[in-house]
Amino acid sequence: MTVTNLLTLVKTVLALPRKRVNGAVSLLTGWWLIRLLWRLRILVTATLVVLFAYSTLGWVGLVLLAVLPPVLSFAWRVLHPQSHTWFVNRLLARHRLRHTYGSRWDAVMVACNLHVPVPGGDHLTPTLRKVTLAPVGDVLHVRLLDGQAPADFARQADELAHAFGVPEVRVTSAGPGRVELVLVLLDVLAEPVILTDVPPVTDLRRVRFAIGEDGLWRTRNYANIAAEVGGGVPGSGKTAGETSLACGLIQNPAVQYVVADGKGGEDWSWIAPRAAAYCAEDEDLEAVLRVVEQVHGLMRHRLKTQKATRGEANFWNLPLDPNHPAVFLVVDEVQTFTDTKGMDNDTKQLAYQITARLSVLVKKGRSAGIITRLLTQKPTADALPTAIRDNASVRTAWRVMSKDAAEAILGPVVREAEVSPVDIPEAMRGVAVVATDAGRLERVRFPFVDEHTAETIATRTADLRRELTAFGASALDDQGANDDGTASESEGEAAGVRA
């Protein structure tokens, strides 16, 4: 604006009637006061409340004002802790959004080179949309600028951690144009998760199985799942992880469990009162074959009759029913029965039959409501044939010693992943690497349930156990199922097998 224009503006204002000038000044002053009061609304509101309490009840009002809020908050927390926690966390999140992170967000983005310069010497920065609280730390929800990607933030994760003063920043994609920054204050996977009791699983489409790095429970959908493969070195926590999962599942009357333990020990003996079939044989492969044959026979029976008897060919299109339960077949240390190295010819033939039956269950068990879970400490092709492993849609890798072993369990995706089961420390028993629903690998910790607690749960739910013969399977003392689903006779029942 030139001097001439400025003088013209001053003359125009001075020429206005005094009333109009006073009115304009009053309006601007009022607008400024409203904005000031809005910025100080919390202080103003608190002051008005204090003045009202004192003017109404005197000193008694001030005492009540100091005592009642914490008392009411405590009562709320006792009566309904979920809503109280939600409300408090929401207040803390809003405060941290405005004052803890919002006040220095622009400076941090510039310092970490996550801004975009614009003509004129100015710049644009990603938008901090909101802050949420997680058990592991604060989560910053960010909207990216055009041309930015989550990888840009991942490359600057160390710089972001230093800027925000936290040990670690984890970067995850939250959808197109969005990213989440997890400011890690606590490593929730560092300490074991010990459960003194396990809640029952009521929905097989949402089964809690482990705790993620954000401190939240992870769930799995077992509907339309045929098989799961898990592997890890001895002592990595495979059986303990499966135990905690089984303790929740066996409390559902519409679930039956079958266990074949290749260790030959008593790691799974706790489940015997509840298991529809339990075999702890590691040398008598005939006994193991009979258990696998029984589940295989049930699968064939369901595939042939389910459409006619229940109206649907797919088990998972029907409601869960104790009279038509989902069946979990757990084969621990499966390499005991599938790795033929060192076996004599007769034993090899039994191993081939077991492997063939497991392969069919993995490929066809989904529609029959049969989930096969295979655990091994040797996830190689000779111990766990690729025909079985490649058809398992759920995979879990506890600690392993080589990248080849990690890839054998999790597949090629582990090559480019940021986390690997090879990097799990020996002391972190129970920590594993799993794939999320989006296909991204993440670390989780399986909870630990001691043997006495597991046995108590199995004994408590023993009345839910039913023989698989009640659902159309052949008896364990039958040698094996023929193609028509019937069974041929066998002589006796091997020791170590219980049905």
* Burial (CB count within 10 angstroms: exposed 0-12, middle 13-18, buried 19+), residue 337: buried
How much is the CA Rg of the chain, to the nearest whole Å?
A: 32
Strand partners, 131: 140
CA 145 to chain centre: 30
Report the SS3 class of residue 321: strand
Tokens of 108: 């941090």
Containing 60, the helix (H) or strand (E) segment is: helix 59-79
- Among candidates 245, 250, 252, 211, which has minimal Cα distance to 228? 245
What residues have CB less than 8 Å from 251, skipping those under 6 apart? Answer: 198, 200, 201, 457, 461, 464
Report the C-alpha gap between 60 and 434 in whole angstroms. 60
Pairing verdict, β 487-489 and 478-481:
antiparallel
- For residue 50, the tally of other CB atoms under 10 A from its CB is 14
The DSSP call for residue 9 is: H
Please report, as a single letter, which amino acid is at residue 123: H
Half-sphere exposure of 90 (CA within 13 A, CB side): 6
Helices and strands per DSSP (H, E), number in the chain = 15, 19
Output the known binding site. Answer: 232-239
Sign (positive or negative) of CA dihedral 460, 464, 467, 468: negative
Binding residues for ATP: 232-239
Q: Report which secondary-structure segment, H or E, holds 179.
A: strand 178-184
Q: Would you say 366 and 226 are in contact if contact means Cβ atoms under 8 Å apart?
A: yes
- Strand ranges in 349-391 using DSSP code E only, listed in sequence order: 370-376
The two tokens of residue 371 are 């989930």
Token pair of 335 as six digits = 């390499």
Asked if residue 75 lies in contact with residue 69, where contact means CB atoms within 8 angstroms, the answer is no
Contacts of 328 (CB under 8 A, 6+ apart): 246, 249, 255, 256, 257, 258, 370, 371, 373
Q: Nearest Cα to 282, choosing from 242, 335, 232, 358?
A: 335
CA–CA distance, 293 with 394 (Å, rounded to integer)? 23
Burial of 280 (0-12, 13-18, 19+ CB in 10 A): buried
DSSP string, 326-346: EEEEEEETTHHHH--TT--HH
